[in-house]
Chain A
Amino acid sequence: MADYKYTPADFKSDQEVRWCPGCGDHAILNAVQRALPEVADRTDTPHNLFTFVSGIGCSSRFIYYMKTFGFHSVHGRANAVATGVKVANPRLNVWVTTGDGDSLAIGGNHFIHAIRRNVDLNVILFNNEIYGLTKGQYSPTSKLGKITKTSPYGTVEKPFNPGELVIGAKGTFFARSIDMEVNLSKECMVAAALHRGMSVVEVLQNCVIFNDKTHAAFAADKATRAERTITLRHGEKMLFGANNEKGLVFENMKLKVVTVGQDGYTLDDVLTHDAHERDTTLHSMLAAMKYPDYPVAVGVIRAVEDDAVYDLAVERQVEEVRATSKIRCVDDLLRSGATWEV
């Protein structure tokens, strides 16, 4: 492990942070700036290799506040631009900051294909279930029936669950956090950075102006979160509740919430989280859990190592061809194949 001795201040740019007071984005910025010194050491990444790419939306202003290389692209295209950055130079540590509109609506295609290719990007998906920068229209994660400026009578379309989308696209890493849980967010960011391949960290984020308290039913305060969310950690029992008295069991092909010691359920019956399982079924079910039927899963839900990492595979193929090819330069190329003298 390297020892760069970076502090969060080394990742703060001189730009004034201009999100609304009380916006969840402040906490995400805080978590990332706290995560990077640890990421630098644990992945042996010097400061000059960190690169942040974003699309459009409140989340995408993020890059201006980071004292790293940064590229603020156009709406929806962050994952495509970041793919180019990473393929061009796989040694860079590339992060994408994006939102539910940016990556799940206008940029949905790039998002799923970056996942499919397993490009080694660390994507932070700020999910506030609303379009904030355009002042309050419903997004692809807004709850069915949500009243917004563009749905004055409520939406009539079902939302995406980002976790199901990522895992459905055979994503190799998916974690979820809540903006207020800075330590958990930081833990997820570090895990995402350590993961080889595409990592998506969904942060359930509050938009204090246009969608206040959208996650409050399960995320309002510490006590609520203890009862209504479950923090998953690889190798640990799936327990939650103020005293860890509740657990998840698998019964009749479904997840079920039980209380340990009641109805004949013991600790042995409670599932142990295996984030490394390649099969997507259980991870998808965990990501899909919705309050009030279930606790909302947070933490690293899926982290599967896969050798097929796109940017590295592209580079490897180039090296393999170069090792044996007779064409070493453009002069060779121009004279390859059928030629004749005049």
Chain B
Amino acid sequence: MEQNSVHELQDVVIRFSGDSGDGMQLTGTLFSDTSALMGNGISTFPDYPAEIRAPQGTVAGVSGFQVHFGNRRQLNPGDYCDVLVAMNPAALKANRKWLKPGATVILDGDSLTEEHIRKAGFATLDPLAELRLDEYNVVVPDITSMTREALKETGLDNKTVVKCKNMFALGICFWLFDRPEEHALRYLDGKFAKKNPAVAEANKLAIKAGYNYAANTHQFANNYRVAPARLEKGTYRSINGNVATAWGLCAAAEKAGLPLFCGSYPITPATVILEELAKRKDLGVKTVQAEDEIAGICTAIGAAFAGNFAVTTTSGPGLSLKSEALGLAVMTELPLVVVDVQRGGPSTGLPTKTEQSDLQQALYGRNGECPVAVVAASSPSDCFHYAFEAGRIAMEHMTPVVLLTDGFIANGSEPWRIPQMKEYPAICPPIVDQAPEGGFMPYVRNEKLARGWAFPGKTGLEHRVGGLEKDCVKGCISHDPANHQTMVSTRAAKVAKIADYIPEQTVYGDAEGDLLVVGWGGTRGHLQNAVDRMRDEGKRVSLCHFNYINPLPRGVKEIFARFRRIVVCELNEGQFAAYLRQHLQEFRYEQFNKCEGQPFTIVELKQKFESLLQ
């Protein structure tokens, strides 16, 4: 009998795919956490339908979780997969287009029933032939029946037993990529052992059965080893963008010495931030799950007036509802962070899919001349940093800040070298404790043009603010024409002045060249990867990626001027490109845009860049 051989690989993409009730998110998470613990670089991306339990067995109901792991830091979850685990014909059909040439496909043979094949919309009863998979390494183990067999002595009912089939598939993948089972077994103990120890045991048995099946049967020609990544020394953890955002907000509150308040309303894909902050009572965080999006931001504004570091979290439709109150925060010049985890729009749009199409809403979506600072995070882990930055800017400059993330980085996760809080600066809001001579004037400003923050409870600082135009010093109502002009100009100047307090814009790659790729926010991983590949081929391509959107950092013009062509890539129809045309009119901008609810692929980016270099 032929011996299995072990192959070393640089990086691997696995996509776990099944019905939305098949537990694919858990399967993928356990695989990626295990790989992270082994020291691999990781990037993951869940791709699931908006329905909690979409029609079973249909292509619409397919839920996927992609893990990209390797011996380097992984910047994105990968376009195409090396291994597809498909729990039914629908999952196979939905993901056929994401297979790399020669990829391995593991399909549950028990799912190849006429019913499942018909539900998946195949024309014939031979899905493998229909999808023309003969160039691929297709393995069709009977996962469901083997799981049933392995668990027959547990005494559990058939439904519970069949639910463990995802763990059998996980066991196969553990063997295939030489991963230890311990982490997953420990996790299952933690998750089920108290409530239902029998279910924990069953899941653990299924993992072992899958592993042994793969090791014993030689169905797979090889197994593979992926060496640990050479990462910077330190303590690491795996983190997703939403949790990182929540923690960054906690960090900003701690560095300002103020309690954190979050007024919010559940909305996909932002809800996890509220959920995480609700857990953080240990850090003194107060959360109000409000009656609607408007109350979410309004309770936050009230809390900001009362002296908390206040935030509200939402997605695009929620930001629409918060517009009027955001204007109130601009008018009253209170610190406030609004997190918008962008999803496909307009209206309800694509709740579980990613897009960058709220940029102009964040910049302009309010009545009146109503500037706010806009900051965007660009990877799951740097959500921590930019949430902190949003908090710093809001509190030190007394302004609302919109922090844009997106469904892709919010749900995606990656290993993160844990920072120490002493590496972060103190945040010093202009808090007023004592009335100056002549009384407290709410709209007297400091060198940042920020007004003083005097909360209720501070003796002698009683004052009134609100949404009506304010006298530029006293803060009482003023309808004076010249005063209004002064206030409109001052509010704009205050936000523009933030540029003096943020890092200068940088360029990745050479400082000059033939093509400058410009992006912002959550597309960084894909853009950098595509630029790297172009540079490996000797092309003079660099990346200028933005995290600070309004105001733009200093130094942008100097960067742009040193490239022959500029292409602005974004997951919308050109919102940042339009913004750049408004602010830096002297340059010509090419565009690459996509609105499919999916991240860019490296392949399509490279094609675009190559065409621009011709």
Contact = CB atoms under 8 A, between A and B. Distances in A.
Contacts of A81: 298-299, 301-302, 305
B310 interface: yes
B269 interface: no
B261 interface: yes
A49 interface: yes
Nearest to A54: B466
A167 interface: no
A334 B254 contact: no
Given A77-B325, A110-B298, A72 B261 contact: no
Specify which of B280, B282, B324 lies most central, judged by the most chain A CB atoms within 10 Å of its CB: B282
Specify which of A50, A325, A331 lies most central, judged by the most chain B CB atoms within 10 Å of its CB: A331
Contacts, number: 212
B283 A72 contact: no
A80 B233 CA distance: 47
Contacts of B299: 80-81, 83-84, 87
B290 interface: yes
B247 A330 contact: yes
A120 B465 CA distance: 22
Interface string A301-317: 00000000000001101
A91 B307 CA distance: 13
A317 B281 contact: yes
A246 B344 CA distance: 66
B579 to A, nearest CB: 27
A168 interface: no
B457 A92 contact: yes
Interface stretch (B44-52, B235-243, B357-365, B497-505): B235-243
A285 interface: no
B531 to A, nearest CB: 26
Nearest to A82: B302
Contacts of A330: 247, 250-251, 254, 283, 421
A187 B324 CA distance: 37
Contacts of B295: 77, 80, 83, 109-110, 113
B419 interface: yes
Contacts of A63: 464, 466
Contact of A64 (B290, B456, B476): B476
Specify which of B183, B298, B420 lies most central, judged by the most chain A CB atoms within 10 Å of its CB: B298
Nearest to A324: B282
Contacts of B233: 342
Contacts of B302: 53, 71, 80-88
B279 to A, nearest CB: 9
B307 to A, nearest CB: 7
Interface stretch (B32-40, B166-174, B602-610): B32-40
B139 interface: no
A340 B37 contact: yes
B438 interface: no
Contacts of B456: 48-51, 69, 85, 89, 92
A336 to B, nearest CB: 9
Contact of B236 (A322, A327, A340): A340
Contacts of B468: 72
A91 B488 CA distance: 35
A291 B576 CA distance: 63
Specify which of B284, B292, B294, B327 lies most central, judged by the most chain A CB atoms within 10 Å of its CB: B294
A46 B303 CA distance: 20
Nearest to B306: A88
Interface string B445-469: 0000000000111111111111110
Interface in B315-340: 324-325, 327-328, 332
A338 B37 contact: yes
Given A329-B283, A339-B237, A342-B234, A74 B288 contact: no
B369 interface: no
Interface string B250-291: 110010000101010000000000000000111111101011
Contact of B281 (A51, A318, A329): A318
A339 B310 contact: no
Nearest to B250: A330
Contacts of A321: 281-282
Nearest to B187: A338
A252 interface: no
A102 B461 CA distance: 28
B232 interface: yes
Given A71-B305, A80-B294, A322 B467 contact: no
B417 to A, nearest CB: 8
A339 to B, nearest CB: 5
A342 B455 CA distance: 45
A88 B308 CA distance: 6
A47 B459 CA distance: 8
Contacts of B428: none
B151 interface: no
Contacts of A67: 462
Given A48-B462, A84-B303, A84-B310, A341 B291 contact: no
A260 B327 CA distance: 59
A50 B457 CA distance: 8
B282 A325 contact: yes
Given A89-B307, A92-B306, A334 B247 contact: yes
Nearest to B476: A15
A109 B468 CA distance: 24
A247 to B, nearest CB: 41
Nearest to B252: A330
A335 B39 contact: no
B288 A87 contact: yes
Nearest to A320: B281
Interface in B1-56: 33, 36-37, 39
Nearest to B33: A338
A84 to B, nearest CB: 3
A333 interface: yes
Given A71-B305, A88-B302, A331-B420, A338 B238 contact: yes
A29 B237 CA distance: 58
Specify which of A91, A330, A337 lies most central, judged by the most chain B CB atoms within 10 Å of its CB: A330
A92 B118 CA distance: 65
B477 interface: yes
A335 B418 contact: yes
Specify which of A13, A84, A329 lies most central, judged by the most chain B CB atoms within 10 Å of its CB: A84
Given A15-B476, A92-B456, A338 B237 contact: yes
A340 B236 CA distance: 5
A318 B247 contact: no
B561 interface: no
Interface in A191-212: none
A81 B288 CA distance: 12
Contact of B288 (A46, A73, A84): A84
A9 B301 CA distance: 29
A341 B236 contact: yes
Interface string A114-132: 0000000000000000000
A13 B465 CA distance: 13
B464 A71 contact: yes
B300 interface: yes
A317 B281 CA distance: 8
Given A64-B476, A329-B283, A337-B237, A88 B462 contact: no
A241 interface: no
Given A48-B459, A327-B282, 8 more contacts: A47-B459, A64-B476, A80-B290, A92-B457, A315-B286, A334-B418, A338-B183, A339-B235
Interface of A: 13, 15, 46-51, 53-54, 56, 63-64, 66-74, 77, 80-89, 91-92, 109-110, 113, 314-315, 317-318, 320-322, 325, 327-331, 333-335, 337-342
Closest 8 CB pairs of A and B: A72-B466, A84-B302, A84-B299, A70-B464, A80-B298, A325-B282, A88-B303, A69-B456
19 contacts: A46-B459, A47-B459, A48-B460, A53-B302, A68-B462, A69-B456, A71-B332, A72-B466, A83-B302, A84-B300, A88-B303, A88-B308, A110-B291, A315-B286, A318-B285, A333-B283, A335-B237, A340-B37, A342-B417
